[in-house]
């Protein structure tokens, strides 16, 4: 009901709290900023006045009964879910809560291998066993695609005891699988459908965009409100549907989420939900139009390719998020990460990420036409100044893994340390990934191959920010210790 969406109950409760001039003999210790003048000057007194602790008038995130509960109900209504949970540990905690709600130790979950590290971390925490569906790969763009329906069906038939299936909607690049058909297929076999919508918040608020998880009847969805939804970094929603238990899901969330929920993050979720519920259609109409304008202009620059719905093939690219500005760079002889670095270092333009062949410029309602023109001009100049032969560039982002152990088994197994070249043939017990986007090149339990080592070294050479290993320089890697060593 549209009148209820005009409310922002957490914000309203904070305003009542401030008006009451309560004397704080509780935490946080900065006491509305008075105890740390430098912090107050930097963040602003208003911000610190709203950085408060849980109390009766403000409810409690771990067990909400009043204003937070009301905010959750409004969010559920806005997203078309049975219930929505406010999360302050990022969408990482939402993905982990989905997996841990659906699967216990030893139970199987079907998922694409190009998941975010948070999903594989959930397997390490829970002991769930992955059944990977290798995504399609676009050889021209060098990016992983969605899951083919037939590949999913094959995985379900081979593993009918799996408890759930996890789907990306969309990928970082804007690619969507056939979410509706996969959901219906999984439900036929009584599997829960979990959807990672870290990059799909806007799907719920504009009818020109691909289908959302809740609209096709999925059971759970993790939604990064802080990305396209406009809330503060680290704030997120977890949506549940159908027969998923609200009480049990909250218990799972409370295993890992802080007991000191930030009211800055929660109020930003509340206010941003209100904004999208009331104005989402027009907001994302504008974003789509800005993205399309920029895409058209970039495609006039020889060597760059900003792709969109023309990629749709009805299966591994079932739909495409037109608000995404994904740009293929290999045509000018530069890796995406090289273009990323040049834009930041020489043009003071910070884009979302660059990989071996693509960049992603994240466009939102906060952007201006002037900003778009500046990006277009910079790319034009980069092409003129840096264009070179592309024959030496890697042509793909994704390598099919060879699974030897479960992530939990490998992560906690006795291990030894080897240089990357000497680790070929061994089983990794830790991650290596470029961040962003945070999709593992190799994950615990997977065999380290020469192709993987070559790819890691190539990423290092091109300047990708590699993470996941104990070694900060990513020159050595932990591998599972073999029995005879």
| 3-state secondary structure at position 405 | coil
Fold for domain 407-480? Molybdopterin biosynthesis moea protein, domain 2 (3.90.105)
* Cis ω before 28 (30° cut-off from 0): yes
pLDDT at 397: 61
CB–CB of 447/425 below 8 Å?
Answer: yes
∠ CA 261-351-173, nearest 5°, is 85
**DSSP secondary structure string for all residues of 337-355:** HHHHHHHHHHH----SEE-
Q: Which of 303, 301, 462, 450 is nearest to 392 (CA)?
A: 462
CB–CB of 426/450 below 8 Å?
Answer: no
pLDDT at 24: 84
Q: Which of 345, 313, 349, 315 is nearest to 327 (CA)?
A: 349
pLDDT at 396: 63
pLDDT at 401: 87
CB–CB of 69/9 below 8 Å?
Answer: no
Q: Which of 46, 77, 49, 60 is nearest to 10 (CA)?
A: 60
CB–CB of 112/132 below 8 Å?
Answer: yes
Pairing of strands 108-112, 129-133: parallel
| 3-state secondary structure at position 31 | coil
Each of the 485 residues of the chain gets a pLDDT tens digit; together they read: 445 899 999 999 999 998 888 888 888 989 888 899 999 999 999 999 999 998 899 999 999 999 999 999 999 999 999 999 999 999 999 999 999 999 999 999 999 988 888 999 999 999 999 999 988 888 889 888 999 999 999 999 999 999 999 999 999 999 999 999 999 999 999 999 999 999 999 999 999 999 999 999 999 999 999 999 999 999 999 999 999 999 999 999 999 999 999 999 999 999 999 999 999 999 999 999 999 999 999 999 999 999 999 999 999 999 999 999 999 999 999 999 999 999 999 999 999 999 889 999 999 888 889 999 999 999 999 999 999 987 777 766 667 889 999 999 999 999 999 999 999 999 999 999 888 777 889 999 999 999 999 989 988 988 888 999 999 999 999 999 987 65
CB–CB of 375/339 below 8 Å?
Answer: no
CB–CB of 447/426 below 8 Å?
Answer: yes
Helices (H) and strands (E) in the chain, counts: 14, 20
Report d(CA 212, CA 209) in Å as an integer: 9
Fold for domain 280-386? 3.90.1150
CB–CB of 88/253 below 8 Å?
Answer: no
Report d(CA 288, CA 282) in Å as an integer: 10
CB–CB of 148/136 below 8 Å?
Answer: yes
Q: Which of 70, 100, 44 is nearest to 222 (CA)?
A: 100
The answer to whether the 280-386 and 407-480 domains have the same CATH topology is: no
pLDDT at 3: 53
193-198-202-207 Cα dihedral, nearest 10 degrees:
-30
Domain ranges of the chain: 280-386, 407-480
Buried b / exposed e across 69-108, counting CB within 10 Å, b at 16+?
A: ebbbebbbbbbebebbbbbbbbbbbbbbbbbbbbbeeeeb
CB–CB of 28/53 below 8 Å?
Answer: yes
Q: Which of 51, 64, 62, 50 is nearest to 16 (CA)?
A: 50
């Amino acid at each position: 009901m549209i009148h209820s969406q005009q409310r922002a109950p957490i914000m309203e409760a904070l305003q009542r709290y401030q008006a009451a001039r309560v004397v704080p003999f509780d935490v946080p210790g900065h006491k509305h900023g008075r105890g740390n003048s430098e912090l107050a000057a930097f963040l602003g007194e208003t911000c610190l006045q709203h950085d408060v602790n849980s109390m009766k008038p403000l409810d409690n995130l771990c067990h909400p009964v009043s204003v937070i509960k009301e905010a959750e109900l409004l969010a559920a209504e806005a997203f078309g879910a049975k219930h929505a949970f406010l999360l302050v540990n990022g969408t990482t905690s939402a993905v982990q809560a989905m997996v841990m709600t659906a699967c216990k130790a030893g139970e199987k979950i079907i998922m694409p291998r190009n998941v975010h590290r948070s999903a594989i971390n959930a397997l390490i925490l829970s002991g769930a066993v992955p059944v990977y569906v290798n995504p399609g790969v676009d050889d021209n763009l060098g990016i992983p695609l969605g899951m083919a329906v037939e590949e999913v069906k094959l995985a379900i038939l081979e593993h009918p005891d799996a408890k759930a299936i996890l789907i990306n909607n969309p990928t970082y690049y804007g690619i969507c699988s056939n979410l509706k058909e996969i959901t219906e297929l999984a439900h036929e076999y009584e599997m829960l459908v979990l959807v990672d919508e870290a990059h799909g918040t806007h799907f719920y608020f504009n009818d020109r965009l691909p289908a959302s998880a809740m609209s096709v009847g999925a059971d759970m969805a993790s939604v990064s409100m802080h990305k396209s939804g406009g809330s503060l970094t680290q704030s997120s929603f977890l949506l549940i549907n159908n027969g998923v238990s609200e009480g049990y899901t909250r218990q799972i969330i409370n295993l890992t989420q802080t007991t000191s929920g930030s009211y800055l993050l929660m109020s930003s979720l509340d206010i941003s939900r209100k904004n999208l519920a009331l104005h989402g259609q027009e907001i994302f109409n504008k974003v789509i139009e800005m993205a399309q304008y920029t895409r058209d202009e970039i495609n006039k620059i020889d060597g760059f390719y900003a792709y969109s719905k023309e990629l749709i093939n009805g299966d591994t690219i079932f739909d495409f998020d037109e608000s995404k500005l994904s740009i293929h760079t290999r045509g000018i002889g530069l890796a995406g990460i090289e273009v990323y670095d040049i834009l930041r270092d020489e043009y003071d333009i910070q884009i979302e990420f660059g990989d071996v062949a693509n960049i992603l410029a994240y466009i939102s309602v906060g952007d201006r036409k002037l900003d778009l023109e500046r990006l277009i001009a910079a790319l034009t100049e980069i092409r003129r100044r840096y264009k070179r032969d592309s024959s030496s560039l890697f042509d793909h982002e994704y390598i099919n893994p060879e699974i030897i152990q479960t992530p939990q088994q490998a992560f906690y197994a006795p291990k030894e340390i080897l240089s990357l070249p000497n680790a070929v043939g061994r089983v990794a017990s830790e991650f290596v990934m470029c961040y962003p986007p945070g999709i593992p090149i190799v994950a615990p339990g997977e065999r380290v191959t020469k192709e993987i080592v070559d790819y890691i070294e190539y990423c290092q050479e091109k300047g990708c920010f590699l993470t996941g290993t104990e070694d900060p320089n990513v020159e050595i890697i932990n591998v599972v210790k073999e029995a005879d060593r």
